[in-house]
Structure 1
Amino acid sequence: MTPDTEEALAETIKGAQAPLAIKGGGTRGMMIEGDTLSVSGISGISLYEPGALTIVAKAGTPLSEINAALAAENQRLAFEPMDHRVLMGTVGEPTIGGVIAANVSGPRRIQGGAARDYALGVRYVDGSGAIVKNGGRVMKNVTGYDLVKLMSGAFGTLGVLTEVALKVLPTPETQGTLLLRGLDDAQSVRAMSAAMGSPYEVSGAAHCAQIMEDGAVTALRVEGFETSVSYRLERLKELLSPICTDVTIGDAALTEWVWRSVRDAELWKDVPEDIWRISCKPSDAPMLMARSGAVGWYFDWAGGLIWVRMPPGGDLRTNLGEFDGHATLVRASDETRAVLPTFHPQKPGVAKIAAGLRARFDPRGILNANLMASV
């Protein structure tokens, strides 16, 4: 089923007699029970006002189309969404609706916030087939309940997005990356924490033992005007000299490659292990990896996000035990997915609230049924 208007989508959901698997670009590789309901036919940029830093697009609009329109005006999406196709081995085109529904946010989140922080307004169809609009086209619009934030990260379980309004930002003149070599996990977190606490506006902080293929590298990105970028990189180098003396500066081209690799986990596209991601307190990252049983990992978000390679079928959550955060299974065999849920089990209080929301927005339980039942 591929309705091409919001009204047709509403009628499809209203008349559904069985669970529906909501599909955008299909690039995340999720297996969802039910009849496939694609929003790819509800596509197109509805409004773009570069002077107001605002773009409005229908949910099925390919991300590439939005990026091209923004690039023509020297603007970009601020939250740097991941492209899952390389890691997941999928095809198709990521859509803006899928990005917002999953709150897909890349390395720049540590500086500017997540995808949901740039969503100004949404239109969606709930589980009863009702068309709902919330938010607006300016940041100050806070009338009523903030359903914009609620829909961002709900993975289509509360409603099917049909249109999103987003704040965008200018593209900086240039970028550079400070590369610190030879640090262990604990030292890297110290360095990244110091950088993030500095006045030098770091827009990316990652640590990986393999990305440069010659030992551990901690990467710190700075963006802006060329003279400012050069100045801030030198100041960061001085600031971090007590932690690391083997420091180099990567130019804009190297910076582009490094952060695309970090964002998309590109170097893990052909590895045989299961892929997980952990959200946690940065200070906990080294401890969590020490007890993870993982065969490889790297830190993003200054240690607040960990990408993990686990032996096939390995239960990372059991190995980690209780911690302040959550672990999500990103890529695994069908056999492993049948045993291990994608999302981290919720605590009882949160689970009760989540169940109440689903009952309110999707009383028949037909939208991506059971996808987040164990979140």
Structure 2
Amino acid sequence: MEEDVKYKLDQIEDIWNHFILEYAFCKHKINFTPEVRTNYLGDILGYFQDTFDIIFNNRESKSYSDKFSNQISLLQSIYVQQDFIEELLIIFKCGIDKGVLKKDSNYSINREIRNELVGHPIRKIKGEFISSCLFGYNGGSDKIVYLRYHKDNNYKFESMEFAVSDIILRHKFFLDKYFDKILNKLKSILLSFVKKIENLEVLIGTKSFKEILNIMSVFYESIFKYDFIYDKESLLNIYARKDEHRRYQNLIDKFYCDLKSSLNEKKEYAITLFEPKKVFEVSETERPIFDINNIEFIDTSGRTPFEDIERPVTYHYELGKIATKRNPMDFNHFGGCLRIKCADNQIVINELKHMESNIYNEIEYYSAYRLICTELKEDDD
């Protein structure tokens, strides 16, 4: 029961983090107010996660005080989650307000129980006494019992009794219903965004470099955080110098490659977010059964010892260090290690010298760095 609603909440969180917060195109589809801009929605999502256990894992009460505490925690957690659902519906422009929620029995019944026991155990309206309620101690942990005196019943004694399982089930139906409405709205946003990405993919081959940067700054701004010196100003500077040296053209080529790859990955990710949740059958997760009597042991005495096997030369470690440790001492050490490994590669040696001479110039440093990565086929760094 809990896993279903947690899965839907995780979907909402993923879309929020990887699409809404990343792209102005998606922000414009919701109520992205200055308050929402503070990302207080992250607090809401965190509160949901923190209270799921209180709601869906009914605790055994060993005393009256335990029962009192557990039931108040349950009702208050449901109440707060209801309020947060209302807030999410507003943020995502779902067209559902509190008036609509009040007509939903899965909302109103649980809310009334909470209000009578926790919110207003003694209720007055404009000074007029309406009702009073008191927790009852009869019954086990599986039900909430309380005594009520209400104006509508001429203040006659009433014993109110609600099964905890019914309260939880109502809330589960409530969460499912409105999480689905939120996800349907988010799905429509992502479908629009996917279409926009497909249009951008076409434009890459038809627009000038400057036009592409202008378009991406409006519709796909995350590309400018994709790698070092991918900010718009630096890219224009490098593009203007692309005929001066291979390092500049290489950087532009890599930007185009990264842009195409990023657009495709983002498009595929948006699509997979709404694929049906895979449910594994028991047979798929069962461990294989081994018959120890049929295990065959292999004689490895004739094989070459592991330490005698020549390992391929790798550059990943040194490249990672000179990409992030930009000071003369670190560069001398890690750049020196790379020089030794690449002593016969004049392009790498020349670009290391260029990096060393321009250690505080980001454009020169990282354009040379990227040419080294290309030369050593380490462009995934």
Please identify which structure carries the higher strand content: 1
TM-score under structure 1 length normalisation: 0.23
Please identify which structure carries the higher helix content: 2
Higher RCO, 1 or 2 (CA under 8 Å, sep at least 6)? 1
TM-score under structure 2 length normalisation: 0.22
Q: Quick check: which has more Rg, 1 or 2? A: 2
